[in-house]
Structure 1
Amino acid sequence: MGRALYSMLEWITRFAYINLLWVLFTLAGGIILGLFPAITAIFSVIRQWLNGNSDLPVFHTYWNYYRSEFWKSNLLGLPVYLVSFVFLFNVFFLYANIGELLAWTSAPLLAGILLFLFYLFYLFPAYVHFDLNILQIMKNALLIMLISPVNTFLMVISLSAFTILVYVIPPLGFIFGASFYSFITLWFALHAFRKVQKKQSS
């Protein structure tokens, strides 16, 4: 019992620590340039954990991923920033001109935003899982998202449950927000990736 409790507290500490690293390294890159390397690093470390490499030094491993993937991850971030800006612009435009975001005319926009969010669920896991160029990563993430509705549904359910928990206990969002989001999406995305790879090899 004591050993199980110690192990649980150790993992809680790890997730809180890596979440703190995500915040600090995002700020270190001036937010705009630091966000995507920090996201890539947190996904990369958690992927190592899920693959059984839990004894790696957290800070050193995180820093190595952040440094080595800095420019490539920011290259991936350019289209993400662009699409996000287009969606935000359209949301504010509709709200300013219609006055009600949930009008029937906004349904295609809201559907597009939802699909984009689902796509992001797979994009960063694909980045850290596949050794490919940016265009191939984006293509793989899209294709696997389209053929993995069950995994996407499970991601949404799990993230919704965590969001409700954060709503009830707000400090959890600051302490574990990025790390738990990364863990949840990566867990289900890796399952989808391996399923596809298994079919391709058979």
Structure 2
Amino acid sequence: MASGGFSFKAYSLFDTLVWIACLNVLWIIFTVLGGVVFGFGPSTAAAQLLVRDKVRGGAAPLVRRFAREYARNFGKGNALGFPLVAVGVALTLNWDYFSAGWDLGSQIASTGLFMMALFGAGVACYLFPMFARYHLSVPQYFLMSSRFAMRHLAGTVILVFVTAAALFVCRSVPGLIPFFGIGAWLYVTGWLCDRFFTANDEAMAGALSADAPAGTPAAGATAAVVTRGAGIA
């Protein structure tokens, strides 16, 4: 029994690693096909939709599903991705400028920009997994991701740490990037966000059910609505 259990776990681990590697390759290919700038957002949106299915036990064909979700969410993916790129570039350029100065004002500004970048990284980690789970407008995704990042600081710290660790490993071993670097980050952050959102939805549903009068159908119906976006922050 123990040997069988170990064999099953080893097979599951190997299967997940192969799946992550395939996701990594697909993300790179479709990002390049979109000219990088126009491919980053749709590729990330498609990847997080597949990650959510994977962590929930789904087994849809990877290539076909990725291509379908990439095309279906091309516009919305870019609407989510462009602001992230713009803010990231702006923060980087400003930090480079102020960090080069040695006066007190420059150091304060560079520290503030660094803290803003950390918070922005946390918001970015939530953004596309939230897109994969909830049906919201584009402005609401940014608003809810920001609110979730502020209200769930422990989870935000974990996501930022995972991101920093992924960047460190990829910089230390660049050969991992074409095979696992991006896919592993997408998978781990998507898995973590799915757990965070589920815990939050269950807490919100429990609170609403407790507030509703006993025996009313509104209690169960409201709990179902919460998971569609109203109670994510």
Equivalent position amino acid for 1:57 in 2: P
Gaps in structure 2 of 5+ consecutive residues: 1-5, 207-233
Q: Which residue of 1 aligns with 2:15?
A: 10
Tell me if structure 1 keeps the 8 A contact 2:51–2:191.
no
TM-superposed CA distance for 1:164, in Å, is 5.0
TM-superposed CA distance for 1:6, in Å, is 3.5
TM-score by length of 1: 0.87
Aligned pair in 2 of structure 1 residues 163, 85: CA closer, same or farther (>3 Å)? closer
Tell me if structure 2 keeps the 8 A contact 1:15–1:180.
yes
Choose which of 35, 60, 63 in structure 2 pairs with 1:30.
35
Tell me if structure 1 keeps the 8 A contact 2:162–2:185.
no
2:50 pairs with 1:45: yes
TM-score by length of 2: 0.77
Tell me if structure 2 keeps the 8 A contact 1:166–1:173.
yes
Q: Distance in 2 between matches of 1:191 and 1:5?
A: 23
Q: Distance in 1 between matches of 2:201 and 2:88?
A: 30
Q: What per-residue deviation string (whole Å, max 9, x for no partner) do you get for residues 6-61 of structure 1? A: 333222111111100000000000111011101111111111101110x2100011
Q: Which residue of 2 aligns with 1:136?
A: 140
Choose which of 89, 92, 114 in structure 1 pairs with 2:93.
89
Choose which of 49, 53, 62 in structure 1 pairs with 2:66.
62
Equivalent position amino acid for 1:129 in 2: R
Q: What per-residue deviation string (whole Å, max 9, x for no partner) do you get for residues 155-195 of structure 1? A: 24444444554455442233111111111211221222122
Structure 1, 58-67 or 181-190: larger mean CA deviation: 181-190
Q: Which residue of 1 aligns with 2:150?
A: 146
Match of 1:103, SS state, is helix
RMSD between superposed Cα atoms in Å: 2.2
Equivalent position amino acid for 1:28 in 2: L
Aligned pair in 2 of structure 1 residues 131, 105: CA closer, same or farther (>3 Å)? closer
Equivalent position amino acid for 1:50 in 2: V
| Structure with bigger gyration radius | 2
Q: Distance in 1 between matches of 2:147 and 2:134?
A: 14
- Percent identical among aligned pairs is 23
TM-superposed CA distance for 1:139, in Å, is 1.4
Gaps in structure 1 of 5+ consecutive residues: none
Q: Matched residue pairs, number? A: 199
